[in-house]
A and B are shown apart, each in its own frame.
Chain A
Amino acid sequence: MSLYDLPNATSGIDAMVVQTLTSVPSFTPLLLFFVFFLVFLTGTARQKARTGNADFPQWSVVASISTLMVALILSTITGLIQLDYLVIVVVVTIFSGVWFFLDQKQSEV
């Protein structure tokens, strides 16, 4: 008996990802977390190294819009993302915008 069933690779890579997701449902939120924090942490770290000051609201907007792009692309194939996660990504993007626009700091954008 195998530890896990190998995904069927004959019907395209999206079918493989959907099968992986069926086994591990937390794959999508973790992927979106990864994208968000990849952009957020690298952006703030580089800005801090460059200018000596990191603009967190600005990078949270950039990171959440990047996450939204990935989430929207995932939404074109059935089974890759659930509506709940997509809505949460949209709401987080709106909240980042609220934070950014109400921030008093002078940003680089």
Chain B
Amino acid sequence: MIKGKQGSQIQWTVSWVMIALFTVAIITFAVSFASDNESPVTISNDPELSSFSTKINTELGAFSLNGTATSGSILNSTISPTSASGTLTTLNPFSLTFGNFIGVSKNILEVGYSKIFGNNQGFQIFLSTFIIMIGIITALLIWKTFRGQPD
């Protein structure tokens, strides 16, 4: 999306806001489509996805409120031309964004994992094998780089 410095804070924040809005939009569209057409199958029948939708709506609302308060505090702050006491020495007013989106990321990953992979134990064999394979490849890559023969 935004070209520039890798993983800057503004880029991450904008990305997570867009992800949260996109998620809410997709779920709301699917639920509204089902209710408009009186569908027999609707995702609002799924308790996990419904609670996920509620959670992400709450998190987005909290972000909106905190963002408004923060931007208000920045706009209303004054800097004295004669003393340094009014100058912001920390980035505290800008630090809310990461904290607000940890919950969003966690919820998205949780619902994705349980909905795609399920809660049964059998699939963990697949995941373990996959993680072991990635580990072996990483170890090989480190070893080859160490010997000076990277692929």
* B115 & A91 in contact (Cβ 8 Å cutoff): yes
Stretch of B31-39, B92-100, B139-147 on the interface side: B31-39
Asked whether A107 is an interface residue with its Cβ less than 8 Å from the other chain, the reply is yes
* A87-B115 contact given A75-B40, A94-B108, A106-B3, CB 8 Å threshold: yes
Asked whether A53 is an interface residue with its Cβ less than 8 Å from the other chain, the reply is no
* A103 & B1 in contact (Cβ 8 Å cutoff): yes
Contact for B30 among A72, A77, A97, CB less than 8 A: A72
**Nearest opposing residue in chain B for A100, CB measure:** B1
Say how far B128's CB is from chain A's closest CB, in angstroms: 21
Question: B27 — which chain A residues lie within 8 A by C-beta?
Answer: 90
Report how far A106 CA is from B49 CA in the complex, Å.
31
Interface size on B, residues (CB 8 A): 30
Report how far A92 CA is from B26 CA in the complex, Å.
11
Report how far A88 CA is from B20 CA in the complex, Å.
18
Main secondary structure of the interface of B (DSSP, over half): helix
Question: B19 — which chain A residues lie within 8 A by C-beta?
Answer: 97-98, 101-102
Asked whether B70 is an interface residue with its Cβ less than 8 Å from the other chain, the reply is no
Report how far A104 CA is from B30 CA in the complex, Å.
28
Contact for B41 among A75, A93, A101, A102, CB less than 8 A: A75
Asked whether A78 is an interface residue with its Cβ less than 8 Å from the other chain, the reply is yes
**Nearest opposing residue in chain A for B33, CB measure:** A72
Question: B49 — which chain A residues lie within 8 A by C-beta?
Answer: 87, 90-91
Report how far A31 CA is from B22 CA in the complex, Å.
25
Say how far A98's CB is from chain B's closest CB, in angstroms: 5
Question: A90 — which chain B residues lie within 8 A by C-beta?
Answer: 26-27, 30, 43, 49
Most chain-B Cβ atoms within 10 A of its Cβ — which of A77, A92, A98, A106?
A98
For residues 29 through 68 of chain A, which have their beta carbon under 8 Å from a beta carbon of chain B?
65, 68
* A83-B26 contact given A72-B33, A75-B40, CB 8 Å threshold: no
Contact for B34 among A75, A93, A97, A105, CB less than 8 A: A75
Say how far A64's CB is from chain B's closest CB, in angstroms: 9
Asked whether B15 is an interface residue with its Cβ less than 8 Å from the other chain, the reply is yes
**Nearest opposing residue in chain A for B36, CB measure:** A76
Report how far A78 CA is from B49 CA in the complex, Å.
21
- Interface residue ranges, A against B (CB under 8 Å): 65, 68, 72, 75-78, 81-83, 86-88, 90-95, 97-98, 100-107
